[in-house]
Amino acid sequence: DVKVTQSSRYLVKRTGEKVFLECVQDMDHENMFWYRQDPGLGLRLIYFSYDVKMKEKGDIPEGYSVSREKKERFSLILESASTNQTSMYLCASSIPGTGGRVQYFGPGTRLLVL
Amino acid sequence: DAKTTQPTSMDCAEGRAANLPCNHSTISGNEYVYWYRQIHSQGPQYIIHGLKNNETNEMASLIITEDRKSSTLILPHATLRDTAVYYCIVRVLNSNSGYALNFGKGTSLLVTP
């Protein structure tokens, strides 16, 4: 089975802090994604990566950056956390050949920024 | 953008079949229908996808009408653990990525004892 893990299930940070969210997948998938999920807004794509050191902006990249130094690991960085970044963050990876549409998700990190 | 219509909520008795409908009248000929679900406080889980033919896997069956304007996800013997929000997705977002999945609001399925 595909396994996507995220470093924390719950995280509390203060405004202005730099926050690192880590995601690891064990199935050698090329594509990895970071979403945030907010009530009433569904899932919104922040960034995705289709290979090591490659990244593409999603729909809401402002205030975020990413890092993909190894194929299995995709990190989301909040350069200076703000209260409007309080959200559920979901990482996913996808099977090659499906155009990214069959995605396997991690359990999510619920981030609270005070 | 994706144009899917799903009921907001449904109930199903444990052990019975759960039939979740989805309307997607604007689907184009080469677009697949995907189903995901999200159990409370967990990440979404891929269930099944199809293009024209009916599909079945260990989790569910997908019935797509001949005109492809609607589909039904069938959980043949629902259990309490199937209580979740079920999302029907037929198109990726027209975003920079081209890979995003538009989950919409989905159907909240409650399986009762």
CB contact under 8 A, B100 and A59: yes
Give the chain A residue nearest B94 (alpha carbons): A59
The residue among B5, B1, B2 whose CA lies nearest residue B72 is B5
The residue among B74, B33, B75, B76 whose CA lies nearest residue B52 is B33
Give the chain B residue nearest A10 (alpha carbons): B41
Residue numbers in A near B32 (CB within 8 A): 101
Residue A57: what residue type?
K
CB contact under 8 A, B43 and A4: yes
CB contact under 8 A, A59 and B103: no
CB contact under 8 A, B99 and A45: yes
Percent of chain B with pLDDT over 70: 89
| pLDDT, tens digit (0-9, with 9 covering 90-100), for A49-60 | 988 999 999 889
> Average pLDDT of chain A?
92
Q: If you average pLDDT over residues A67-80, what whole number do you get?
A: 96
Task: Tell whether the model's pLDDT for residue A63 goes beyond 80.
Answer: yes
CB contact under 8 A, B105 and A42: yes
Task: Tell whether the model's pLDDT for residue B95 goes beyond 60.
Answer: no
A7 contact B CB<8A = no
Tokens 């996800």 label which residue?
Answer: B73
Q: Which of A102, A109, A110, A111 to mutate to test the interface with B (most CBs of B within 10 A)?
A: A102
Q: How far is CA B67 from CA A31, B27, B34, B56, in A?
A: 32, 10, 17, 19
By the 10 Å C-beta count (0-12 exposed, 13-18 middle, 19+ buried), A15 is classed as exposed
Q: If you average pLDDT over residues B75-99, what whole number do you get?
A: 80
For residue A25, what are the contacts with CB-CB under 8 A and spacing of at least 6? Answer: A2, A3, A4, A5, A32, A72, A74, A93, A104
